[in-house]
Amino acid sequence: MGRRISSSTNIFPKLAVYTSSLVILLCRPTISSDELIDKTPLFVFGDSLFDSGMTLYNGVEGAGAEFWPYGFTFFKKPAGRYSDGRVIPDFIAQLSGLPFFIRPYLLPGLDDYSMGVSFASASACVLVETRPGTINLMTQLYYFDKMVQKLKDQVGEMEGKRLLSKAVYLFNIGGNDYFSLFEENRADLPLSYYQKRNHMNMILGNLTQHINTIYKQGGRKFAFLNMGPMGCMPSMKFMLGYNGTCAEEPLDVARMHNTAFAALASRLEVHLPGFKYTIYDFFTSLHIRVLHGNSFGFKESETACCGNGPFNGGYSCQKKEHSFSVCSSPSDYLWFDAGHPTEKANEQFAKELWEGGPNIVAPYNLQTIFAMP
């Protein structure tokens, strides 16, 4: 598992992080318009699992994975990603042939939206009341509407419509809504069936509205990660004081959501002409790695590389001047911090999403979705 290093301070100043993020996100090879014309744009929505730097620019102090040890495996310094390196959309961008990582919408100076952009932001929720002050999904859709007009101003009305129709819309959202449900009610667990069902219905109702917003703007090709196995997260076990491999009640809530969301997506396909979707079974993919990490190259699949407390389930490595321990070899670990996978795990997930069979991503894999007209 590698030697663990203890730290009580964060050694990268914020200015250096912002500067490095600009370099990483803006620098890209010069390519001609002819080379780009057949590329499919990628628009990303979601939470910290997909965040590629939005929270560096949201004005909230201490948000955005802006301190060491975030980013040190690939970027060699913090890059606004909640991992030791790249996150899933970074790998998808590479697999799809885009010439750069998808850049966050709030990146200063960003004026080219023709190949896509990321609205995903840490702590994002579907329900606006879950975590006030974050870039929730409603805010992300507000930014998306503004981006649509900027895109059409950039490339023209007709070309803008063509790109919006051709684009893929990649989602990972809802986990923070359910996590907060347990956080707010942990003294009264187990949750009642009514609590769980009512919360799920509100989440799915709001999510449906946001999908329809994108559809009305021309979006037709959607890809979703289903809800991961929340009960296996180091942060969930830390919060609940659970000492086993995975807490069962959060797993059941995730399963309930995933069943209902799969039925919802199928209904949308029936009622929205031209709507195409795929769902990556993130629950199963992550769960099996927790249970059988060695089979996927992970020496440690329950304790996070960085954090404090049982399972390193405390989020101390996200906070300046907090004490935490950090491993010296993240590639040995499934979890980088209390709630986010390592770059190695993210690459595995992205490849399954891109080229996996119907047992893990259905009704199409993402490569097929990208190739659709």
Is position 204 within any domain? yes
Is position 26 within any domain? no
CA dist 179 → 158, 232, 233 (Å) = 42, 12, 10
Residue with tokens 């649509």: 148
DSSP strand pairing (361-362 vs 168-172): unpaired
CA dist 154 → 115, 126, 163 (Å) = 12, 30, 12
Determine whether 199 is an active site residue. no
**First vs last C-alpha separation in the chain:** 45
Q: What is the DSSP string of 64-118?
A: SS-STTTTTTTTSS--S-SSSS--HHHHHHHHTT-SSPPPBTT-TT----TTEEE
Which one of 210, 257, 287, 340 is the catalytic residue?
Answer: 340
Decide if 47 contacts 300 (C-beta within 8 A). Answer: no
- Cα 124 to Cα 55: distance, rounded to the nearest angstrom: 10
Is position 151 within any domain? yes
Is position 224 within any domain? yes
- Cα 297 to Cα 333: distance, rounded to the nearest angstrom: 9
- Number of separate domains in the chain: 1
- Cα 201 to Cα 73: distance, rounded to the nearest angstrom: 40
At residue 37, the pLDDT reads: 57
Residue with tokens 């932001």: 121
Q: Assign residue 46 a region (left: φ > 0; alpha: ψ between -120 and 50; beta: otherwise).
A: left
pTM, whole model, 2 decimals? 0.90
- Cα 357 to Cα 362: distance, rounded to the nearest angstrom: 7
Decide if 161 contacts 215 (C-beta within 8 A). Answer: no
Which one of 20, 21, 47, 48 is the catalytic residue?
Answer: 48
Is position 246 within any domain? yes
Decide if 195 contacts 185 (C-beta within 8 A). Answer: yes
- Cα 118 to Cα 207: distance, rounded to the nearest angstrom: 18
Determine whether 340 is an active site residue. yes
At residue 62, the pLDDT reads: 66
Is position 110 within any domain? no
Cis preceding linkage at 190, omega within 30:
yes
At residue 266, the pLDDT reads: 97
Is position 172 within any domain? yes
Domain boundaries, position 175:
39-50+117-371
At residue 133, the pLDDT reads: 84
- Give SS3 for 29: coil
CATH code: domain of residue 242: 3.40.50
Q: Give Cα 88 to chain centroid, integer Å.
A: 7
Is position 111 within any domain? no
| 10-residue stretch averages of pLDDT, the chain, 373 residues long | 45 38 41 58 98 88 82 94 97 93 95 96 95 93 98 96 98 97 89 94 98 98 98 97 97 98 98 98 98 98 96 84 88 97 98 97 97 93
